């Protein structure tokens, strides 16, 4: 049992680290193509690849979609999250954008209380307040320079929270592969529409042009790495349980900080690190208080 749990933690660690690796690849494309187009291409390629894999593994029955409205919500959430994050890394350091997205657990708890009727614990509100203080600290230099664009990582966090809520309601309704595919087929057209709308604005950052072949290749790398990362995280969840692997998600921030420093020369100052620590600490504290409230939890 202990060895299975250990292997689950390793799977989860690899999955979350790989997600940050994919985020770094996205940042290498900043300025080479519109972030909306990068996001759309990533999910179009992902939808095609996952669809072929689903057909091979499960046949036509794998495409039977349970609760289409719920799958649409999941796809909308991922689309919003991807747009927010891919745009954010074009404006700010990778570690800064990543740290702000870790407000997602607190946002999920609040949205669950509003839309699912789940009771919002006192700890949830405390963690949320502390996390958003951390966000303001992390954003302090970026907000002055970027204005509202500095809040793009928060948009990403809201999108991920919508996905998490949808995932809870979708659990067990289809295979993990099918659920990944359903997300992709709803996210892809949303992102294509966002790309076309952006191309018709006056923003030079959103203008469409024929990209270098390497940009398309990197979109493919992100599509494959993200799909494998989510599969690895699923394997970790099966082996160790969702509650056990939850803290592993913060490996993303460590990897993002390291990649930001090594690849892009981003060096966060001590104040920004303090803000990130507040965000991460509030998330871990919220996870820990929830863990000890579970039935059967002991010292």
pLDDT in the model for residue 141: 67
List the Cα angle 84/88/91 in 5-degree steps. Answer: 150
Q: Tell me, yes or no, whether 79 lies in a domain.
A: yes
Residue 94 lies in a domain: yes
Q: What is the pTM of this model?
A: 0.85
Q: What distance in Å separates the CA atoms of residue 72 and residue 76, rounded to the nearest whole number?
A: 6
The reply to whether 298 falls in a domain is no
Q: What is the total count of domains within the chain?
A: 1
Classify residue 31 as left (phi > 0), alpha (psi -120 to 50) or beta.
left
User: Residue 299: inside a domain, yes or no?
Assistant: no
* Distances from the Cα of 182 to the Cα of 16, 36, 51, 192, angstroms: 21, 20, 9, 16
In-domain check, residue 151: yes
Instruction: Answer whether residue 117 is part of any domain.
Output: yes
Is there a domain that residue 9 lies in? yes
- Taking 70 as the threshold, does the pLDDT of residue 295 lie above it? no
pLDDT tens track for 100-140: 888 888 888 888 777 777 776 788 788 888 888 888 888 77
Predicted local confidence at residue 290, as pLDDT: 67
In contact, 32 and 212? CB cutoff 8 Å: yes
203-207, 217-221, 226-230 — which one is most confidently predicted on average?
A: 217-221
pLDDT digits (tens, 9 = 90+) for 15-56: 889 999 999 999 999 989 999 999 999 999 999 999 999 999
Residue 223's domain spans which residues? 2-293
Rounded Cα gap, residues 63 and 51, in angstroms = 9
Share of the chain above pLDDT 70, in %: 91
Residue 296: which pLDDT band, with cuts at 50, 70 and 90? very low
Q: Is the pLDDT of residue 248 over 70?
A: yes
Residue 207 lies in a domain: yes
What pLDDT sits at residue 117?
74
């Amino acid at each position: 049992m202990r060895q299975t749990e250990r292997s689950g933690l390793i799977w989860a660690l690899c999955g979350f680290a790989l997600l940050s690796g994919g985020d770094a690849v996205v940042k290498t494309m900043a300025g080479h193509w519109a972030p909306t187009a990068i996001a759309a291409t990533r999910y179009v390629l992902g939808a095609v690849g996952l669809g072929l894999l689903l057909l091979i593994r499960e046949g036509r029955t794998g495409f039977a979609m349970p609760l289409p409205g719920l799958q649409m919500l999941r796809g909308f959430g991922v689309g919003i999250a991807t747009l927010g994050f891919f745009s954010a890394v074009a404006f700010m350091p990778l570690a800064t954008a990543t740290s702000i997205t870790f407000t997602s657990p607190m946002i999920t708890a609040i949205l669950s209380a509003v839309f699912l009727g789940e009771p919002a614990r006192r700890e949830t509100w405390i963690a949320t307040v502390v996390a958003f203080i951390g966000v303001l600290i992390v954003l302090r230099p970026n907000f002055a320079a970027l204005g509202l664009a500095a809040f793009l990582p928060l948009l990403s966090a809201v999108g991920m929270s919508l996905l998490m809520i949808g995932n809870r309601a979708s659990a067990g309704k289809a295979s993990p592969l099918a659920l990944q595919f359903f997300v992709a087929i709803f996210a892809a057209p949303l992102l294509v529409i966002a790309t076309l709308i952006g191309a018709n604005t006056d923003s030079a950052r959103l203008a469409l042009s024929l990209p270098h072949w390497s940009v398309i290749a990197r979109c493919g790398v992100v599509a494959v790495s993200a799909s494998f990362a989510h599969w690895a995280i699923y394997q970790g969840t099966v082996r160790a349980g969702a509650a056990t692997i939850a803290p592993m998600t913060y490996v993303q921030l460590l990897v993002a900080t390291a990649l930001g420093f090594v690849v892009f020369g981003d060096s966060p100052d001590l104040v920004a690190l303090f803000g990130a620590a507040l965000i991460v600490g509030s998330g871990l504290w919220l996870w820990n208080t929830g863990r000890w409230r579970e039935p059967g939890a002991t010292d």
